Amino acid sequence: MNDSSLNTVNSMSLNLNDDYLDKKRKKMEISRNNTPSPKEIKKMKFGRLVQAEEDASLQKFIDLNTLPTIKFQDAYKLYLQNLNIELPESDKLFPWLHEYEKNDQDLNLDDLLEFKQNHTMILKSCYLLHDDISGESYIENSGVLKGSINLKILFHQLEDGDSMDTLIKTLTEEINFYNREMFQLGLPKNFIQDGDVIESIFDACKVNNILPILKTKQLNPNSLSYYNSASKHIDPGSYRKFDFQCCKMLLLSSRALIYCNHKDVLECSICKGARHLVNLVYHNTISKLKIFGDIADITRFKETFLKVSIVDEFVNKVDDKFVGIPLLPTDALRKPEHQLVSKFDTYIINNWEKDFLYRERLEMSRISSNTPMNDNLWIGNSIDFEVSHMGLVLRRSFDEANTFHQDNTICLLDKLNPSEVNDIHVFNYPQCLWDLFIHCKPFVGNNEEMFEDKVAIEAKLNDNEKIYFNFPASGTLGLGNLTLHLIKNIFQCIDYIHQITTRLKKRALIFAYDGYSESSFLILAYTIYSKQLNLKEAILYVHKELKRPFFVFPNDLEVLNYLQILLLSKAKERIMFEENTTQLIYERFEITNVDFTNMFFNTSIVPNIKSDLDCMMNLKGPLPSQILDYLYLGSLKHAESFNLLKDMDITCVVSVGERLTILEGKEPESCKVEKGNNRKVVIYKIDGITIYHIDKLLDNGHDPLLESLYEILGFIESFRKSNNNAKILIHCMVGVSRSATVVIAEVMKELKISLVRAYLYVRVRRLNIIIQPTLLFMYELLKFEEKLHEISDVPIKGIQEDCKRSIDWVTLCSSIDELNEYYLNPTN
């Protein structure tokens, strides 16, 4: 901060001169109905001040010159306490956590006092990127205590265009407001007026690029104020404001702990500034929002004030239970030879509180890793490709490489040892060596070709060289850009794959980045051609026989629906051809203009072509997502497609709040009313399918789910007991919020894993559809985790011994927000 700007802050914050104090007193007098007696005036002037000074607990709070610190091990105890406090019932915190306008005053402190007194915010004040003395550079996301968030998550960001003047102006306003409030409370020692203190607050803001305004409300860009009294407008988007939860919980904390990785945290001016900053915004916010009533009520104030301390001696502890990720030099990012996992990655894998995106990718690589389509053709993802090219398989015998994790999930993974980094624990290894790689990816420009000319391919085949094809990614082909040239190429590629794998017995891998969406067009087209199945049969074949997760876009279905005509007619020719010769012949079929035209007009070869397409185009995916062997998650449209359900052997449908139209006028098997919430649970049996319908459960941010959850899971359990190998579809409208919540709970219960693990487990398996349970549902799931942990006879993976929960609300929400942010703003 330069000298002139600092002067501005000082002069503005120090306007509490005698004139001001006189006016303030006058205002207090005028606000009374009767003229006060001289005695009363005296009381008004000094009453609060005297009372406050007598109070020992306030005394500590008042003295800003002593820097309270807390021992590292005591801070750890507070972290554990966060995981052990009873979470308030959801109706005590909602809709407040959903951020409705003007509902702050509705919050009842008495209901939340016990929680508040036991809840601590743990905040990292800044990063240590480079140590000037040792010359060491550190990884930004390392040096993290468990249950902690970065300071900047709490605050509105300084926008790119904002100058330092904006920060100075806002800071001055906030400090003035704060000092006036402290004056009113009779706590003059508590004023922020020391130049060093103001400068340290400024620095803490500048380093983190933040304004000293909590992110509790949408910021009004014109006035930089956030306490406007807008209409009581309820925005459904507010049900998923994961980014606001940290501020909400700061207001519900009685302590904040600040730390960083600098050698001597007590001398660190950023930590010092952060301490004052947190204190400042906390009091300004509860005062402006009046969330615990009037701050001038001194007894209330004592109950609610925040104690901010600095954690001592956290510099470079490694194997401590309180350390999420130790401070690691950039060296730790280096991957050992023939490995994809670095030491840093191992630490990330072990810390289930953060970096959900990395975990999501690992999980994705596991569910879509290489599986055989026939003896020589495999389907996989880019990790399979990378691992096979790193010579991993060559370096090890096939026995050792047989680390194909049958559980196919990292959600059951135990803690890895970072000093023995080895990605054999993390990835599925390729199950064989491939000669041909077909990469499905978005094509860049019009000139990109799928493969080299036939002479080059032939030469490579003869020399046993590896061959690479490219194929346009699913979703990028539309009826509009289908040309005869493109159709010829698609067909040629499919036929090459078939010839090379079945007649030359070379091994091939079809792969795409995620392993389930970009390759699905080719996989379905190839299945149609090689197995002589129509499109619908091919979809069911890939799901039921190959057991592959896949996602097909509507335009893929549209193109495949016509392309199958060509593929099926050429498949017939191929079989006749193969009976007569053993020779390998490229371009054995000519694709003519007539073939091209027939695709669109000679639809007699595939009956029901139109109705199949119409049905599937409406179903995103088009199949419901398989989450466990017996459990599917889908939409209302999936649930209403009875033929599809039968094809998939699904015999039970759980309708969470949405009613199937087929139930109209049908007699139920049974009907009962849930106690407490007055919800009806009605069971029907129609056409061999059992439908469990639960009413009055809307995705409106109000309707709680927890009580019904136990009922639903109980029903699933008893249905499975009485029906061997039963497959069950859980659905709501879209299959992202209500039903996803039920499915997450079922996965927690079935696999005995914590909420975060189950959330990611389900999220990845919903493929291209992003599950988004509301804040209320996530909160209820955290309560459910507590209950599950309490009643389960085996330990729940992810919950630390002697803790009630695996994670606290603050960390959970900030990590989910970080993950969502990636999909909303992928460039960041």
Q: Which residues bind Zn ion (CB under 5 A)?
A: 125, 260, 262, 265, 268, 270-271
Q: Which long-range contacts (CB under 8 A, 24 or more apart) does 12-19 make?
A: 12/172, 12/175, 12/176, 13/172, 13/175, 13/176, 13/179, 13/192, 13/193, 13/198, 14/193, 15/176, 16/179, 16/180, 16/183, 16/191, 16/193
Query: Which 3 state secondary structure label does DSSP give 511?
Result: strand
CA-based nearest residue to 368, from 143, 518, 195, 529: 518
Query: Which 3 state secondary structure label does DSSP give 257?
Result: strand
Give the residue carrying structure tokens 């009962």.
672
Least CB distance to Zn ion at residue 814 (A): 20
Nearer to Zn ion, 270 or 716 (CB): 270
Least CB distance to Zn ion at residue 278 (A): 13
Q: Round to whole Å and give the CA distance between 667 and 688.
A: 14
Nearer to Zn ion, 200 or 641 (CB): 200
Least CB distance to Zn ion at residue 129 (A): 13
Phi, psi of 308 (to 5 degrees): -110, 120
Least CB distance to Zn ion at residue 652 (A): 56
Least CB distance to Zn ion at residue 276 (A): 13
Nearer to Zn ion, 241 or 262 (CB): 262
Q: Round to whole Å and give the CA distance between 379 and 361.
A: 17
Nearer to Zn ion, 25 or 263 (CB): 263
Nearer to Zn ion, 257 or 509 (CB): 257
Phi, psi of 196 (to 5 degrees): -65, -40
Least CB distance to Zn ion at residue 175 (A): 21
Q: Round to whole Å and give the CA distance between 378 and 509.
A: 5
Q: What are the Cα distances from residue 656, in Å, to 544, 561, 733, 758?
A: 26, 33, 8, 19
Least CB distance to Zn ion at residue 452 (A): 58
Least CB distance to Zn ion at residue 416 (A): 30
Nearer to Zn ion, 205 or 557 (CB): 205
Phi, psi of 199 (to 5 degrees): -65, -40
Q: Round to whole Å and give the CA distance between 168 and 208.
A: 15
| Token representation of residue 166 | 């904006």
| DSSP 8-class letter at 158 | P
Burial 687-704 (b: 16+ CB within 10 A, else e): eebbbbbbbebebebebb
Structural contact between residues 620 and 551, judged by C-beta atoms closer than 8 angstroms:
no
Least CB distance to Zn ion at residue 122 (A): 14
Least CB distance to Zn ion at residue 220 (A): 32
Structural contact between residues 559 and 482, judged by C-beta atoms closer than 8 angstroms:
yes
Least CB distance to Zn ion at residue 92 (A): 35
Nearer to Zn ion, 270 or 609 (CB): 270
Nearer to Zn ion, 110 or 132 (CB): 132
Least CB distance to Zn ion at residue 477 (A): 54
Q: What are the Cα distances from residue 436, in Å, to 246, 358, 432, 542, 588?
A: 50, 29, 12, 21, 20
Q: What are the Cα distances from residue 317, in Å, to 143, 332, 348, 564, 684?
A: 9, 16, 16, 61, 59
Least CB distance to Zn ion at residue 316 (A): 14
Least CB distance to Zn ion at residue 128 (A): 8
Nearer to Zn ion, 125 or 564 (CB): 125
Residues 6+ apart with CB under 8 A from 811: 147, 148, 149, 353, 354
| Degrees, nearest 5: CA angle 211-187-4 | 40
Phi, psi of 501 (to 5 degrees): -85, -35
CB atoms within 10 A of CB 402: 10
Nearer to Zn ion, 200 or 519 (CB): 200
| Token representation of residue 396 | 């090890």
Nearer to Zn ion, 125 or 474 (CB): 125
Nearer to Zn ion, 268 or 775 (CB): 268
What is the chain's Cα-based Rg? 32
Nearer to Zn ion, 83 or 268 (CB): 268
| Token representation of residue 435 | 């000669």
Residue 95: asked if its preceding bond is cis (omega within 30°), the reply is: yes
CB atoms within 10 A of CB 233: 9
Least CB distance to Zn ion at residue 259 (A): 7
Least CB distance to Zn ion at residue 203 (A): 11
Nearer to Zn ion, 315 or 662 (CB): 315
* Residue 46: alpha-carbon gap to chain centroid: 52
Q: Round to whole Å and give the CA distance between 660 and 655.
A: 8
Nearer to Zn ion, 136 or 647 (CB): 136
Strands (E), 317-393: 323-325, 371-372, 377-381
| Token representation of residue 603 | 């639809």
Nearer to Zn ion, 260 or 706 (CB): 260
